[in-house]
Amino acid sequence: MGRAVESAGGPSRAVETAGDPSRVVEIACDESGSEGEKLVGGNTDMFAHASVRIDVRAAERCLDAVRERAPSPTTMYKSSILRRSKHRWVVAWLLGPSGPLLGHAHVHLIDKPRLFTVRLADLLTGDPARARRLAAALGLEGPRVYGAETWTAFLASLNDLLRARNGRVEITTDAAYDLVESLRPAAPPGGPVAELMDLLLRARPRVEAFGERAPGAMPVLDPLIAAIVGTVAHWGRDGARVRVVHDRQTILTDDRIAELTSLAGPLPGGGRLDGFRLAASASDARIQVADLLAGAARQIAESNRRGGADPELTALLRPYTSFWGFSGRTS
């Protein structure tokens, strides 16, 4: 899985020359909005993965400053405290130019239903470029043809079919394909919805095989996997080797971390994952800071998605994000 991270005590002191492949960057990460491979019809539509590049002392000072501004009796200060409306001003400070994170943190945001549509289209077509074009068209055309509620319920059924089952069967293949057959006649001929339905009908064996993949296989629908690769790409964009200290996650087994290492390097820009270590958030203040950032970012993104954008917080978040969902826009 690459060389182990030797210390949780801050960034490496390696010489930092742009494009120097010997440069090592250590980051601490946490997420918000994780529901595993359930991407449609869950509790949240946005997933945020935050990474910070600060040392432990700086992280402790950041936590002290946040707690002073938004007091809480809890021993472990969590992002749910900052998400309360009365603490909005603290979020603005944390993200803003007078706060401790600007220039030292990154947030990878993923629109989960959009991610599922991309993954579904990729499974059906085997062509990533075509999959993204089809997913973008379906995001507009699906709700227009069937209504938002029916379209979401349809995607949720397919999502349940394709999730790793681990002994659970929430929807049978026959039931899912009965739904495809019932909706297909309403799809305008030649349009993206009709294309999706026809692809589903032709690819039933592939869909069944995907849903029945072996226990322990990489959970490719889980946004955490895509987010970690995207995070490594961000910090390694000038050729750096990236070492990750991550909050504990049950899906990140040793075998999956080893597979992640192969997925995350070398990446465009020359960066690569050079080490990955799980740690309890209580043991590393940097992970706690990443949790605060991830929670705040997800709340801002969820509000934007629902049409209730907070212009000030959206603008303050923008410098931290290089990828907003799967819309193709950078913010």
Is 107 within 8 Å of 234 (Cβ atoms)? no
What confidence tens digit (pLDDT) does each residue in 174-231 have? 999 999 999 999 999 999 999 999 999 999 999 999 988 877 788 989 999 999 999 9
322 vs 106: CA distance, rounded Å: 8
Phi, psi at 300, each rounded to 5°:
-65, -45
pLDDT, tens digit, for every residue of 99-153?
999 999 999 999 999 999 999 999 999 999 999 999 999 999 999 999 999 999 9
String of b and e for 281-299 (b: at least 16 CB within 10 Å)?
beebbbbbbbbbbbbbbbb
Residues 315 and 109: beta-carbon distance below 8 Å: no
Using one digit for the tens of pLDDT, what is the confidence trace for 273-325? Answer: 999 999 999 999 999 999 999 999 999 999 999 888 899 999 999 999 976 54
What pLDDT was estimated at residue 215? 75
Could you count the other beta carbons within 10 Å of the beta carbon of residue 209?
11
pLDDT at 164: 78
CB atoms within 10 A of CB 222: 25
Q: For residue 90, which amino acid is it?
A: V
Give the pLDDT of residue 11: 32
The per-residue pLDDT for range 139-161, each reduced to its tens digit, is 999 999 999 999 999 999 999 99
Q: Going by C-beta distance under 8 Å and a sequence separation of 6 or more, which residues neighbour residue 315?
A: none
Give the CA-trace dihedral at 90, 96, 97, 99, to 10 degrees.
40
Read off the pLDDT of residues 13-71 as tens digits, 9 standing for 90 and up: 233 334 566 799 999 999 999 999 999 999 999 999 999 999 999 999 999 999 999 99
DSSP 84-95: SGGGHHHHHHHH
Q: In a 3-state reduction of DSSP, which class is residue 304?
A: helix
For domain 24-94+219-308, the CATH architecture is 2-Layer Sandwich (3.30)
Per-residue pLDDT, 167: 54
Contacts of 288 (CB under 8 A, 6+ apart): 30, 59, 63, 76, 77, 281, 282
Span 227-286, pLDDT tens digits: 999 999 999 999 999 999 999 999 999 999 999 998 888 898 889 999 999 999 999 999
Q: For the chain, what is the largest distance between any 2 Cα atoms, rounded to a whole number of angstroms?
A: 62
The full DSSP string for 308-321 is ---HHHHHHHGGGE
User: Which residue, among 143, 144, 162, 161, has the nearest Cα to 152 in the 3D structure?
Assistant: 143
- Residue 297 in contact with residue 317, Cβ under 8 Å? yes
